[in-house]
Amino acid sequence: MTQTDHREPAGTAHRDGSGDRAAGKVPSPRTGAEERVPEAGPPVARNRLAALDGLRFLAALSVVFFHFVGQVPSTMQTMWGRPVDSVFPEAQSYFAYGRLGVELFFLISGFVICMSAWGRTPRDFFISRVTRLYPMYWVAIAITACVIYFAGDPFGQPHPRVIFANLTMLQTPLGVENLDSVYWTLWPELCFYLTFAVVVWKGLTYQRVVIYCGLWTVAAVLAPGADIHLLTLLVNPPSAPYFIAGMAFYLMYRYRPTPLLWGIVAMSWLLALHYLLTPGGGRLDWDVWQPGRGWLVLIITVFFLLVAAVALGWTSRIRWRGLTVAGTLTFPLYLLHDAIGVNVMHHFGDRAHPWVVVCVTVAALVALSYVVQRFVERPVARAARRWLSSAAFSLRAPEPRR
């Protein structure tokens, strides 16, 4: 999971039913030439989408409870120090579905990254992504490393070189293990940003985003079958359908629903279920978890329907500021919860009722996430944004020292 800013960039057009938009033509952000787009729908408020913030926070919480309650029995026994039957005899199988929160976040990410990048230059897009990812990520690595090496982590201590590889956020292509297992989601996000940056560089338009969705879908389908490892690593077939559907949902939100966009969403939904139900469990290895396959289909379908409700404007009345605050806590909560929580369960899990330990730990982690986001990540990101905004990105050599 990554932190995203889904406020509309200043100066971008909205679905206000007026001017060129109502006539079905808008100026291209890059060239100024008119392009044909679907007609506008009803007005949409120019505010942060609180409903998406709420969904992001719920997705993060589901992953948190999955790691503390829904893990496979062997992992639970190592973490709690006793058999899972004596900890959560019935709840474990239900909370196992919490790992699907990552799929919901990928779906939301496709929506909000497309939204936040609209009308921005490649420079703006680069600065936005770097300053929203790396500061909090580096803080999380520092905290996680301290916990793992000084708290007696029950799962062992990785080689110190793992830390240096993880600091790059490129540990997956480097073939290095994640310092914390939750970091695996960062590589699919990075690949999305890398390929989407090409479209941002050309200038985001309705047609270009649709073509990008189509090309990514084709690449995600062909790469594994053609056994092209590099392409498979880049397009992330199991994760791609969620990002693609999220972008199509944003186009519905920005313009209006069309058969073409619904077709992209439907194809993405089918591919998402295909990869989820792949024999052997695909990436999620469901055969180990033994979940009900029907519930997997239902949960993923509900995720698509929830984001569709946002795209169609059905959640526009939801504007509670608390959801916006909760949305800002998603990234730090996701990055910090695993190493800290596992060690709390391991060292203190037998001193109170398991549910008391879990709920107190989750509440403390939410509070810690707020403190870290408010007093560490936000100031560092703001300083980094100012520094990068004033930097020269040209390949031309700087003036020599006098």
Residue extents of the structural domains in the chain: 19-389
> Which pTM does this prediction carry?
0.89
Given a cut of 80, whether residue 11 has pLDDT beyond it is no
pLDDT per residue over 147-181, tens digit each? 999 988 888 899 999 999 999 999 999 999 999 99
Question: Which whole-number Å values give the CA distances from 141 to 165, 208, 300, 380, in the listed order?
Answer: 11, 37, 31, 15
208 CB contacts (<8 Å, ≥6 apart)? 199, 202
Question: Which whole-number Å values give the CA distances from 190 to 60, 75, 183, 233, 268, in the listed order?
Answer: 19, 28, 12, 11, 20
SS3 176: coil
Q: Which of 48-52, 252-256, 330-334, 393-397 has the lowest mean pLDDT?
A: 393-397
Residues 113 and 206: their CA atoms lie apart, in Å, by 14
Please give the mean pLDDT across all residues of the chain: 87
Q: Answer with the residue of higher pLDDT: 147 or 23.
A: 147
Residues 29 and 124: their CA atoms lie apart, in Å, by 14
Given a cut of 50, whether residue 46 has pLDDT beyond it is no
SS3 281: coil
Residues 134 and 362: their CA atoms lie apart, in Å, by 24
Please check whether residue 14 is in contact with residue 42, taking contact to mean a CB–CB distance below 8 angstroms. no
Q: Which of 67-71, 233-237, 277-281 has the lowest mean pLDDT?
A: 277-281
